Structure 1
Amino acid sequence: MAEPAKSARAVGDRRASWLKGVLDLLVLAHLTEGESYGYEIAKSLVDAGFGQIKGGTLYPVLNRLEEAGLVAAEFRAAAKGPGRRYYRLTHDGRATLKEQGGLWLGFAASVNAVLGKEAE
């Protein structure tokens, strides 16, 4: 009975690694719908089935994307509560998403093809 728990833990570890490898693309893809702020982005990832993304994971990604010129950020004061930093996709961000998203889809198709063969 200890074996299934170990197996579930290993799968969880892999999912975290997979997410880390694709989180930049997921954030860029979210921003194609319009500008957004960190909490809203994290919530959309939860809603999409990726689980809870902590701020200590998400905000470094947003900062890295901003430094690379793929997103632009603007701080806005709020009438109530703290202000928010809103992010929007730049032209370079859209181009990167198109290019890297295509590469990811090709990679995922290759993985699916191999896994599909294993299931036969």
Structure 2
Amino acid sequence: MDTSQLLKGVLDLAVLAVLRKDDGYGYDVVRRLRAGGLNDVGDASVYGTLRRLYNAGLLTSYVVPSEEGPHRKYYSINETGRARLAESRETWRSFASTLDGLLEEVAA
């Protein structure tokens, strides 16, 4: 099954969840998502999601100089982002539970 459409629907939630514990820069967030099992996540999708979440006021950012290359822009979840994460987590759990119930009916 192609999971790309499913991933589009939950990428905001996944990025907020990854940033919940530690700040991160673009490629760091990509690596953490992949390490968490979202192997098909695209770099451009994550960078776009970070910009969108920042523009929506759910993230803050700061720049860290690097001696080995370009400066890195780090993103941090703020209180508004934490509230959205909590709300989205509950929405996801409800949706997943409903879908699990439908799938159990099909299997029976």
TM-score, structure 1 as length reference: 0.85
Higher helix fraction (1 or 2): 1
Alignment partner, residue 113 of structure 1: 101
Q: 2:30 aligns with which of 38, 42, 49?
A: 42
RMSD: 1.1
Runs of at least 5 residues in structure 1 that lack an aligned partner in the other structure = 1-10
- Partner amino acid, structure 1, of 2:64: R
Q: Structure 1: how far apart are the matches of 2:6 and 2:40?
A: 14
1:47-92 residue CA offsets vs partner (Å, 9 max, x unmatched) = 1221142222111100010001101111221021221110000100
Percentage identity across paired residues of the two chains = 35
Q: Structure 1: how far apart are the matches of 2:32 and 2:62?
A: 20
- Partner amino acid, structure 1, of 2:20: T
Name the larger-Rg structure.
1
Runs of 4+ in 1 over 6 A off after TM superposition: none
- Partner amino acid, structure 2, of 1:113: G
TM-score, structure 2 as length reference: 0.94
Counterpart contact for 2:7–2:41, Cα < 8 Å: no
- Partner amino acid, structure 2, of 1:54: G
Alignment partner, residue 17 of structure 2: 29
Count of residues paired in the alignment = 108
